[in-house]
Amino acid sequence: MIVRLDLAPGDVIRDDELQARLGLGRTPIREALQRLVRDQFVTVIPRRGMFVSNIDVSELGLLYETRATLEPFAMRLACARGQRRHWQEMAGVLEQATAASTPDELIAIDRRCREIVWEAADNRFLTDTLDMLYAQSDRLWHLYLGDVADLHLMITEHREILDALQHGEADTAAELIEAHMRAFDEQIRHAVQRRLTSPLAG
């Protein structure tokens, strides 16, 4: 809900409302909120309550440099440890993309391709970190989606990554994912800049 902006930056979070909305008990809701605080999606302000964290565009560079280090490492591990079933599943996921696919559908495909690579890498500490970082990036996609270029190019890039993984080309897979993320970083930065310089800004 936070990633997709159903709960927008600055929104107040009430666990009783979440219980009613999600049909969950108090304990799982509180456990989820504790993790969201840890992962910086939720902010606790003493004596005021819990709020959806703001998206700090000044930290885009930190997000990119962290992912640009970890994602290529995950690719190398996946190339060494991945099995045929991983790449078969990834190919099947990519086949779901069509010219008529919506941005949300394409982002879901992108997400699943990343998850398959993380599963193949078989390092839960790395996966937990990448999962959190991806979710932060995903929230940026949703915030600036209308300003971002055609997402179908992303699918083409994943097909190239899959080909490298299938052929055991670890360095190529690592280079491709780094280029993929660099393009994402540039698109988001341009989108942010356009919004900040828009006559309607503020």
48-104: per-residue pLDDT in tens? 999 999 887 777 888 899 999 999 999 999 999 999 999 999 999 999 999 888 888
Please compute the mean of the pLDDT values over residues 8-21 and round it to a whole number: 91
pLDDT tens per residue across span 143-173: 876 656 678 888 999 999 999 999 999 999 9
Alpha helices in the chain (DSSP H): 15-22, 26-38, 60-81, 84-95, 103-121, 124-144, 152-166, 170-197
The SS3 of residue 141 is helix
Give the predicted TM-score (pTM) of the model. Answer: 0.83
Contact 55, 140 (CB under 8 A): yes
Which domains are present in the chain? Answer: 12-52 (1.10.10.10), 57-197 (1.20.120.530)
**Residue 106 CA: distances (Å) to CA of 15, 73, 151, 201:** 31, 24, 7, 29
Given pLDDT bands bounded at 50, 70 and 90, which one contains residue 130?
very high
